[in-house]
Amino acid sequence: MSHSPENDPMFKVSFSNIPIIDLRHWFREYLFKLRQDDFRKQFTGEIHNIETPYFLWYNRSEPLLNLMLQQAILGLEAYVSAAVFIEAGRRGVPSPEIVVKIQSPFSLGRSTANNLFNKLPELIDPKLQLTYCDKALWEKARLFYSEIRNPLFHGRVLDPVSPELVLSMFEFIARIYGWVDGWHDINRDELGSWYLTNY
């Protein structure tokens, strides 16, 4: 007998948007911590009592470092999509077709990095593409996605991993956020209400 998903309570869920200001705040908190020697020293030894900005971790450090990096990447990807959507509204270029593409960036092509950092911002202005704004940073992003991000999201973990290595990746992600900041100002008040009511 086949099981009908519509009758399964597991599928009776609803979603809301992550406030993108929260994504930036989370990232800044962890970047700030990773830059501190005292925080990184907590990762020495076998079993750890690591105090993060949001929780205490009582276990090996490797899973925590991998989790932090995965969360930073997920946050960046959600942030870029939301920033493109907000800017489309601000610049007067939203359309049903653009909204569908922004909501499904993986439908734009096979390359996740190219979809996020080039094809999405191109929907509002071709000059916003990362490959146009900073070709060297784009090449590093492309390599980061093929060699690090994609394995991390397909059953692999960084091993060995250290807080210094994760810090270097956070610094790279901060550069990507810097590119977004060049065309999207998160500090403008209307972004929160506009995003929540339209996306």
Spatial distance between the Cα atoms of 151 and 70, rounded to a whole number of angstroms: 11
Beta bridge partners of 51: 56
Please report whether residue 7 resides in a domain: no
**pLDDT of 20:** 85
8 has pLDDT over 70: yes
Q: According to the model, what pLDDT value does residue 188 have?
A: 66
Question: Contact, 120 vs 81, CB < 8 A?
Answer: yes
- Would you state the pLDDT for residue 43? 92
In a domain, 6, yes or no: no
Q: Is residue 5 part of a domain?
A: no
Domain holding 53, by residue range, is 17-198
Domain count, the chain: 1
- Exposed e or buried b per residue across 95-113, where buried means at least 16 C-beta atoms within 10 angstroms of its C-beta: eeebbebbeebeebeebbb
Q: What mean pLDDT is predicted for residues 87-116?
A: 88
| Residue % of the chain over a pLDDT of 90 | 66
Flag whether 39 is in a domain. yes
Provide the whole-model pTM.
Answer: 0.88
pLDDT band, very low/low/confident/very high, at 104 (cuts 50, 70, 90): confident
Which of 15-24, 71-80, 183-192 has the weakest average pLDDT? 183-192
Q: Report if residue 99 sits inside a domain.
A: yes
The overall average pLDDT reported for the chain is 89
Q: Identify whether 9 is part of a domain.
A: no
Confidence of residue 194 (pLDDT cuts 50, 70, 90): very low
Cα 39 to Cα 53, 72, 158, 173: the distances in Å are: 10, 17, 20, 19
Distance CA 138, CA 143 (A): 9
Residue 81 token pair: 């999509």
132 near 183, Cβ under 8 Å? Answer: no
| pLDDT confidence of residue 199 | 38
66: in domain: yes
- Residue 131 lies inside a defined structural domain of this protein: yes
Instruction: Look at 116 and 11; give whichever has higher pLDDT.
Output: 116
Per-residue pLDDT tens digits for 44-95: 877 678 999 999 999 999 999 999 999 999 999 999 999 999 999 888 887 8
The more confident residue out of 194 and 86 is: 86
pLDDT digits (tens, 9 = 90+) for 115-136: 999 999 999 999 999 999 999 9
Residue found by looking up tokens 């692999």 in the block: 156
